[in-house]
């Protein structure tokens, strides 16, 4: 790929990350922080999961995920369950309160994105979703 195209991508990604980070502090995106939103989404979609599996899925250090899950557990958003295959380990499961917070935040995010993309065509939104998914997979394979 030519250098100019890479420079354009670099600048656009840096700008996007800066704007997304600034928007993440906006209460219009719900009450959950990004890390809590992602962890609760994962637990909601895939059921009870242990810290090790979560750290592998998010490519984060186990200590980071442990701290994040401890906060969610203290707030009552997740609960600890014994791992049925390993008595020494435990898994986390989203609670009813956690599901409620997740749904409220998800709804706030969807309203925000609906406004953000109001003048985009369905095809443009579909393409963006596909390209973002491909970019995320590329980071995993890196």
Structure tokens belonging to residue 28: 């219009």
Residues 26 and 43 both lie in one domain: no
Q: According to the model, what pLDDT value does residue 19 have?
A: 85
Residues 16 and 45 both lie in one domain: no
Q: According to the model, what pLDDT value does residue 72 have?
A: 97
Going by pLDDT thresholds of 50, 70 and 90, the confidence category of residue 43 is very high
Q: According to the model, what pLDDT value does residue 21 have?
A: 79
Residues 11 and 52 both lie in one domain: no
Residues 47 and 15 both lie in one domain: no
Mean pLDDT within 27-49: 88
- Would the pLDDT of 25 be above 80? no
Residues 19 and 69 both lie in one domain: no
Going by pLDDT thresholds of 50, 70 and 90, the confidence category of residue 68 is very high
The span from the CA of 65 to the CA of 43, in Å, is 13
Residues 74 and 18 both lie in one domain: no
- Would the pLDDT of 23 be above 80? no
Residues 82 and 17 both lie in one domain: no
Residues 82 and 125 both lie in one domain: yes
Residues 69 and 59 both lie in one domain: yes
The span from the CA of 101 to the CA of 12, in Å, is 32
Q: How many domains does the chain have?
A: 2
Q: Are strands 86-94 and 78-83 parallel, antiparallel or unpaired?
A: antiparallel
77-123: pLDDT as tens digits? 999 999 888 878 899 999 999 999 999 999 998 998 999 999 999 99
**φ, ψ for residue 32 (rounded to 5)?**
-85, 140
Residues 99 and 51 both lie in one domain: yes
CB-based burial of residue 109 (10 Å sphere; 0-12 exposed, 13-18 middle, 19+ buried)? middle
Q: How far is CA 76 from the centre of its chain?
A: 19
The pLDDT > 70 percentage for the chain reads: 96
CATH number of domain containing 58: 1.10.10.10
Mean pLDDT within 125-138: 94
Residues 12 and 72 both lie in one domain: no
Query: Taking a C-beta distance cutoff of 8 angstroms, is the pair 29, 108 a contact?
Result: yes
Residue 14 belongs to domain spanning:
1-30
């Amino acid at each position: 790929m030519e250098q100019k195209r890479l420079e354009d991508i670099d600048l656009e990604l840096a700008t996007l990350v800066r704007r997304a980070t600034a928007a993440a502090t906006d209460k219009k995106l719900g009450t959950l922080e990004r890390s809590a939103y992602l962890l609760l989404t994962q637990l909601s979609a895939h059921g009870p999961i242990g810290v090790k599996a979560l750290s592998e899925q998010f490519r984060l250090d186990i200590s980071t995920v442990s701290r994040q899950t401890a906060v969610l557990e203290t707030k009552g958003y997740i609960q600890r369950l014994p791992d049925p295959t390993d008595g020494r380990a435990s898994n986390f499961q989203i609670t009813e309160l956690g599901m409620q917070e997740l749904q409220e935040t998800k709804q706030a995010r969807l309203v925000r994105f609906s406004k953000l993309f109001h003048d985009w065509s369905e095809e443009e939104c579909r393409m963006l979703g596909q390209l973002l998914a491909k970019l995320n997979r590329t980071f995993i394979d890196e």
